Structure formats: structure tokens, C-alpha cells
Structure 1
Amino acid sequence: MIHPSVIKKQQLILIILSALTIFTIFISLGIGASSLSYNRLLPTFLGNGTFKEEFVLFSIRLPRIIITFLAGMALALSGAILQSITRNDLAEPGIIGINSGAGVAVAVFFLFFPIEAGSFTYLIPIFAFAGAFFTSVLIYFFSYKRATGFQPIRLVLVGVGFSMALSGIMIVLISSAEREKVDFIAKWLSGNIWGSDWIFIYSILPWLIILIPFVFYKAKRLDLLSLNEPVVVGLGVSINKERVTLLIAAIALASAAVSVAGSIFFIGLMAPHIAKALVGPRNQLFLPVAILIGGWLLLLADTIGRNIVGPDGIPAGIVVAFIGAPYFIYLLLKK
């Protein structure tokens, strides 16, 4: 049973995070290459803005903000799942190679398959999932030993190796491609929020609507999977079945996110850690906090990145990496 004081603390943190998110959205709506006066936001929302104001707000800013926030939520939840099922605090979809697997699949799809504009948006998360799933199967296979079982630290090392190998494959794929396609993939790899239209929201939202409630439903199972295997088996839990099911959910969440937001690292690493530090390690408590932190962090990174320098700004993935890479090194040294 969770103590009422802990629940109250979680609720307070959720309120604070919601307020931070709303404030960041408000700031993000008003700044950019085409500035929008803050005192014109409400009239424009109510349909009393000029054509330019409505175009900037509804066609450029708002869909990008929603996509960024949803992608951050998905990456954070994916990282939380991976850390629980592998019992490894360093597990994260970008670090262990899932993002790279999705990236290669997206590159193959984009470069070699005939694409129709209407179907491209909805097919790209499916191809990303297929690539990430195949990569995860290989990583899991090479991380498992019959004598000692599943090796969490080995998973991270194998995942990093696969990530580097897949990056090499990506370079080979784009080396002879057309300039426009190479530019798109380069932006994707740097974590640029490229899916900045309403149709991309419709492509990622169904994945989150299904998977977030499913993972919350499995929160107690995640708590058990973070324990030692003999203890879990003694409690009557089918470890392999639960682990594979939740691993597929984590892969699907990461694939949906990177298919519209590009290859973004470290959100899935930092958000669960910060949430656990705030409310404790129980999944029922920290998962809601983690997904809000993930959404807010990526939204904040994109807001800073697209306004810090030049007309094109800096991709959100690079801004996140400035914070996440030192944090990863700190965790690596600590563990």
C-alpha cells in the first residue's frame, strides 16, 4: 500500500510539472522566426486573429509543440520500461541501439520504397518499429547466456556496439542517395523535429493512446521485474513472457517517437531517473511523473534549439545531448 503522504507528494509534483509545461508552451507559441505577440494568442485561439497569426499559430507552432511533447512522453516511458525489465539504470532506447535500428529502417524505406505523400506518414512508424524490433531481438540474443541467463550490463555494451554498427550502415545507405533525401536523413539523425504538421500527430497519437494505459496497467509487473529473478519466479510471474511483452511496448513507443521527432537520445535515460528521485522507485508513482518530465524536457530543448541561433536553430536532439551526455557519464561512473 502506498502511503497517502507519498501520493500527495506525487500529485503536487504532477501539478508543478503541468504548470511548467503550460508555461513552456506559452513561451514557445510566441517566439520563433515569425514572432507572435503574446497578447494576440488568446484572440487568435478564439478565431479573431489575422491570417498570418492564425497560420503561424495553427499551422506551424501548435502542431510542432504537440508532436514534441508527445514524442518526449513516449521516449520517457520507453526508457522507464527498459530500465525496469533489464534492471539496468543505463538502459535507454537511444543508447542500447533501438533508435539506430529504427533509423536504418526509416532510411531504407525513405530511400528505396516508392512513397505516396498520403501513406508515408502512417507507414513510417511501422517501418521504424520493424527495424527497432529486429535490432532488439539481435541485441537480446547476444546479451543472453545459457549458463548465466540475461546479463543487463552486457545488454548496454552490446546495444552500444549495435548502435555504432548501424550508424556505419546508415552512412553507406546515404552515400549514394539524392541530395534532398540525404538532407532529410541528416536532419532526422540529429534529432530535428521534422514532423511538424497535424497529420504527424494523427500518426503518433494512436500508439500512445493504446500503449500508455497498457504500461500503467503493467506497472506492478514492472516493479516485480526489477527484482532478482529467483524472487520473481517464486511469486509466480512468467519472467520471459512479461519481459518480451513489455519490451515490445518499449520498442513501439520509441519507434513512434523517433519516426516523427528524429533520433533523440537521453530523454529516456534522464526522465525516469529524475522521476524516481522525486517520488521513489515504484512504477505506479514515478511513471506518470516520468512521462510529463520527458515531454517537458524535449519541448524545452526544442524551444531553446529553434530560437538560439540562426533561422534554422539547433536540433532538439543536440540540445538534449548537451545535458544528457554528461548525465550518462555521471551514471556510468557512479554504477
Structure 2
Amino acid sequence: MIHPSVIRKQKILILSLLALIFCTIIASLGLGYSPVSYDRILPVLLGQGTFKEEFVLMSVRLPRIVITLLAGIALAASGAILQGLTRNELADPGIIGINSGAGVGVAVFFLFFSIDAGSFAYMLPIAGFLGALLTACCIYLFSYEKGIGLQPTRMILVGIGFSMALSGAMIVIISSAEPQKVDFIAKWLAGNIWGADWPFVLALLPWVIVLVPFILYKANRLNLLHLGDPVSIGVGVSVAKERLVLLLVAVALAAAAVSVTGGIAFIGLMAPHLARLLIGPRNQLALPLAMLIGGWLLLFADTIGRNIVEPDGIAAGIMSALIGAPFFVYLLMKK
């Protein structure tokens, strides 16, 4: 039973985060290499702007904003699941190798397969998911001990090892590629939100719409898994099955996000922590906040990054790393 005052606090926090996201969206729409006056944003959105205004807002900035929000939500949800499964606050899809696996999948697909322009945006999340899934299976196998099960601490260490190995594999893969394709992969690795167009929104949206409600439905199971195997088994939870299903969901969300945005790290680490600091450890309460915080963090990082240096800006992945790396060091020292 959750106390009504805690539920009330969660609602206030959700409304506050939604207001913060709205303000950041408005700021992001107006700022950029081709600035748009804030009193013109609403008329343009209603179809009463000039061709230039409509192109800048509707074809360039708005899809990028939606992509960053969806990707931030997906990465935060993935990080929250991984932290619950491993019972380790340092778990993150970027740190334990999931993002690197997705990156290798995207690179192999982009460099070595013939690409149809119409289906390119929709195939990338699938390619990223297959690469991340293969990586996650390897991490799971190396972290599993017969008679005991999945070892959370070993999973973190194995994941870090795979992340480093896959980074090396990425360099080998792109070393013989064409310069234009190498440039694309380099931007992907930096987290450059390269898929900032409506087809990429449509490619990412189904993954978020389907998997986020499923995570919220499984929030109580995630609570039990976080308490340890004896407690989970004692209340009738099929630990191995639940771990496998939730791990697949975490992999799918992270892979779908980074396949479109590029290599984004630390969002999945920071957002769940901040949510738990605000509302406590219960996933029913913390997960919605974590996803909103993740969406805002990535949107904020991208908005600052693309306006701090013109015209190309700084990649959102680099900005999120500048924010997240000190946070990671703080957690490491704390633990």
C-alpha cells in the first residue's frame, strides 16, 4: 500500500517535469543557427508561417526534439531495468556494452548490406536490436553460474569488458570502409542525433509505445527482483524467466534508441538515480519519473550542444557524457 501523500508527491513531480520539458521544447524550437522568434512559434505550428519558418520548425527542429525525448525515455527505462536486475546502481546500457553491441549491429548493417532508402529508418532499430541482443546473450552466458544463476556483479564486469572489446571491433570494421560511411559511423559514435527526421520518429515510436507500458506493468516484479533471489522465489516469482524477459525489454529499448540517436551514454545511469532520490525506490513511482527525467536530460543536452558552437554544435552524446561522467565517478566513490 502506497501512502496517498507519496502518490500526491509523485503527481506534483510529474507535472513539474512535464512543465520543464515543455519549457525546454519551446526554448529548443526558437534557438539555433536559424533562430525563430518565440511569438512566431505558435502561428508556424498552426500552419501560418513562411516557408522558411515551417521548414526550420516542422522539418528540422520538431522531429529532432521528438526523437531526443523518445530516446531519453527509452534509455532511462532500460537503465532502470538493468539497475534492478543487477542490483547495482552503476548499471547502464552504455556502460555494460548494450549500446556498443547495437552500434556494431548498425555499423555492419550500414557498411555491408544493400540499403533501400524507404526502409532504411525502420531497419536500423532492428539491426541495432540484433547486435545488442547477441551482446546481451554473451554477457548473460558469461555471467551465469550453474546452480546459482545470474551473478549481478559479474554481469557488470563482463559487460564493461564486452563494451571495450566491441569498441575495438568497431574500429576494425570501419577501418576499410569508404570515407563517407566512416564519417557517418563517427557521427553515430559521438551521439550526434543524426536520425532527426519524421521517418526515424515513426521507426522509434512503436518500440516505446509497446515496451514502456509493459515495463510499468512489470514494475512490482522488478521491485521483488531487486530484493534478491530468496525473497523473489519465496513469493512465487519465476526469477530466471522474469530476468530474461526484462533483460530483453531493456536491450530492445536501448538498441532502438541508440540506433537512431547514436552512442548516448549515462542517461540510463542518471535518470533512475534522480528519480529514486525524488520519490524513493518503488518502481511503480520511480519509473515514470525516471523516463521523464531521461527525456528531459537528453533534450537539454542536445539543445545546449547544438547551440553552444555554431553551425554544427557539439554532439548530444558528448554533452551527456560531460554531465554524466562526474556523476558516475561520484557513484563509484560512494559505493
Shift of 1:149: 3.4
How far, CA to CA, are the matches of 2:137 and 2:329 in structure 1?
26
Report what 2:103 is aligned to: 103
Question: What secondary structure, in the 3-state scheme, does the structure 1 residue paired with 2:210 have?
Answer: helix
Match of 2:322 in 1: 322
Distance 1:183 1:275 in 2: 36
Secondary structure in structure 2 of the residue aligned to 1:276 = helix
For 1:81-113, what per-residue CA distance to the aligned partner results, in whole angstroms no more than 9, with x for missing partners?
Answer: 111111111111000000000000100000000
**1:36 counterpart residue number:** 36
1:86 partner amino acid: T
Gaps of 5+ in 1: none
Please name the residue that 2:144 is paired with: 144
Cα distance, 1:70 vs structure 2: 0.4
User: What SS does the aligned partner of 1:243 have?
Assistant: helix
Taking every aligned residue pair, what percent have the same amino acid on both sides?
68
Take 2:32 and 2:56, find their aligned partners in 1: how far apart are those partners?
A: 10
CA contact (8 A) 2:102 2:130 kept: yes
Task: Tell me which residue corresponds to 1:118.
Answer: 118
Mapped partners of 1:47, 1:138: distance in 2: 50
Q: How far 1:329 moved relative to its partner?
A: 1.2
C-alpha displacement of 1:231 = 1.2
Q: Offset of 1:148 from its aligned partner?
A: 4.6
**Quick check: 1:205 aligned with 2:201?**
no
Alignment-derived partner of residue 246 in structure 2? 246
Distance in structure 1 (CA, Å) of the matches to 2:286 and 2:148: 31
Deviates more, 1:278-287 or 1:147-156: 147-156
* Aligned-partner SS, 1:321: helix
Give the counterpart letter for 1:282 in structure 2: R
- The CA deviation at 1:154 is 1.4
**One-letter amino acid of the structure 2 residue matched with residue 127 of structure 1:** A
**One-letter amino acid of the counterpart of residue 230, structure 2:** P
Letter in 2 for 1:146: K
Q: 1:149-204 CA distances to partner (integer Å, 9 max, x unpaired)? A: 32212111111110010011100111111111000000000111001100001000
Q: Secondary structure at the match of 2:118?
A: helix
Give the CA deviation at 1:239. Answer: 0.1
- Superposition map of 1:1-335 within 5 A: 1-146=1-146, 148-335=148-335
Deviation, structure 1 residue 127:
0.8
User: 1:316, 1:203 → 2: CA distance?
Assistant: 20
Moved over 6 A (4+): none
Aligned mates of 1:322, 1:226 — CA distance in 2: 29
Q: Could you tell me how far 1:145 is from its partner in structure 2?
A: 2.0
Aligned-pair CA distance for 1:147:
5.5
Question: Where in structure 2 are there 5+ consecutive unaligned residues?
Answer: none
- For the residue of structure 2 that corresponds to 1:92, the secondary structure is coil
Count of matched residue positions in the alignment of Structure 1 and Structure 2:
335
What SS is found at the alignment partner of 2:79? helix
CA distance in 2, matches of 1:316, 1:323: 11
Whether the 8 Å CA contact 2:85–2:152 is kept in 1: the answer is no
State the shift of 1:143 in Å. Answer: 1.4
Letter in 1 for 2:169: I
Q: Which amino acid aligns with 1:317?
A: G
Q: Which whole-Å CA distance do the structure 1 matches of 2:59 and 2:308 have between them?
A: 22
More displaced stretch, 16-25 vs 154-163: 154-163
2-side partners of 1:309 and 1:45: how far apart?
27
Which letter maps to 2:317?
A: G
Report the residue type matching 1:63 in the other structure: P
User: Residue 230 of structure 2 aligns to a residue in which SS?
Assistant: helix
Mapped partners of 1:133, 1:269: distance in 2: 20
Give me the whole-angstrom Cα distance separating, in 2, the residues matched to 1:14 and 1:234. 34
- C-alpha RMSD over aligned residues: 0.8
Q: For 2:16 and 2:166, how far apart are their aligned partners in 1?
A: 39
Q: What letter is aligned with 1:82?
A: L
CA distance in structure 2 between the aligned counterparts of 1:258 and 1:91, rounded to whole angstroms: 17
The DSSP-based 3-state class of the residue aligned with 2:119 is helix
Q: CA deviation at 1:48?
A: 1.1
Partner letter of residue 241 of structure 2?
Answer: K
- What is the CA–CA distance in structure 2 between the aligned matches of 1:251 and 1:161, rounded to whole Å? 17
